[in-house]
Structure 1
Amino acid sequence: MKNQLPPGQFETEKWPVLHQGDVYAFNKETWKFRLFGEVKEEVSLSFDDVMALPKTVSTIDMHCVTTWSKFATTFEGIALREFLSLTSLNEDVKFIKIYGYYNGDPFGYSANLPLDRLLGDDALFVYRWKDNDRDWEDISPKHGFPLRFIPPASFYLWKGTKWVSGIKFMKEDEEGFWEELGYSMTADPFKEDRYR
């Protein structure tokens, strides 16, 4: 499915910046990453804890609901499955919500996703990137520094939470930030699954 342009999209070489609210100002001393919800025991990680996890490099196509698509973008980050290895889930966990900072609230933004589609190399919490025009560089604060979730290409990019702060594990699906405002729960760009 690499380099496949979904219907209603146009290709761009740039990585446009779109976000709601303030740009989070990273503070390593106060930054935390929580694993919570349907877990046997909650986990709280420091930035150093997260950055000590095994790294994955993957090239992931991005499709924004505002109709742009960007191919051949390579990211380095931590695969979601690495966080799964740090906790024991309760039975029947099928969904997650990935939270991020929004106007100062560490859990003000969220996006819901089905867990079973996020276990490969294309579901990454990223901190640096490169493409055909640039060598490795940190993601910018406007793109979600210090850590931003990039979903597989089978989801629109609003599922890619910026300034991430944690993962909530769930048995039932729940609306996230944009879903509460009428966006699709499933967000499949190849079905133009933008709104409910």
Structure 2
Amino acid sequence: MKNHLPPGQFETESWPVLHQGDVYDFNEETWNFRLFGEVKEEIVLSFKEVMSLPKTISSIDMHCVTTWSKFATTFEGIKLIEFLKYVELPEDVNYLKIYGYYNGDRFGYSANLPLDKLLGDDALFVYRWKDHAHEWQDISPKHGYPLRFIPPASFYLWKGSKWVSGIQFMKRDEAGFWEELGYSMTANPFKEERYR
């Protein structure tokens, strides 16, 4: 359904900037992306290796727990399933955490998600965007440059880790940064799953 506004949300055409802590200062030489946890072998990818992966362009609606929704922003990025090609997972791995920078720690932020909901074109690690009012441009440092996860519209946007640094694969669900502070584990905006 086009522009289906979840309960308690209002539509905006801007892309508000909201984040905890300071902004990550990107350095290509020190940046890397870890695939770890319940994997046969941990993998570490350089920035060049990540950016050489196949790209996807997809329009994704964003719903923030602070009550704004932005429809049909077009992103270019890398689907989560491209990273799955690098790891061998046990059959009972059903969850993951996507990590990102927080106050000096490249793995200080995390968001938990169910793996089976992230296998489509609407689960992207993005680096540029456009909408009806903006031409293609890199995401800004405040929005998560050089790489930010944008989750499907069936999750509130706090599940979209900024300044991403890796994926931990898990057999059991575990709370991430905001979930440990009382936010919903499942975060479905259409069910208003804001808090536990």
TM-score of the pair, normalised by structure 1: 0.99
Alignment of 1:35-54 (within 5 A): 35-54=35-54
- Cα shift readout 1:52-107 (whole Å, capped 9, x = no counterpart): 00000000000000000000100000000000011111230000000001011011
Match of 1:112 in 2: 112
- Cα shift readout 1:3-55 (whole Å, capped 9, x = no counterpart): 11000000000000000001000000000100000000000000000000000
Match of 2:5 in 1: 5
Match of 1:79 in 2: 79
Question: Aligned letter for 2:150?
Answer: I
Assess, with a 3 A threshold, how the Cα gap between structure 1 residues 191 and 68 changes in structure 2: closer, same or farther. same
- Cα shift readout 1:146-169 (whole Å, capped 9, x = no counterpart): 000000000000000000000000
Q: Is 1:62 aligned with 2:62?
A: yes
Question: Aligned letter for 2:35?
Answer: L
Question: Aligned letter for 1:159?
Answer: K
Match of 2:25 in 1: 25
SS at match of 1:73: strand
Match of 1:88 in 2: 88
* Root-mean-square deviation (Å): 0.6
Over 2 Å off, 4+ runs: none
Q: CA deviation at 1:2?
A: 3.9
Q: Is 1:178 aligned with 2:169?
A: no
Contact 1:99 1:111 in 2 (8 A): yes
Number of equivalent positions:
196
Contact 1:2 1:61 in 2 (8 A): no
Question: Aligned letter for 1:156?
Answer: Y
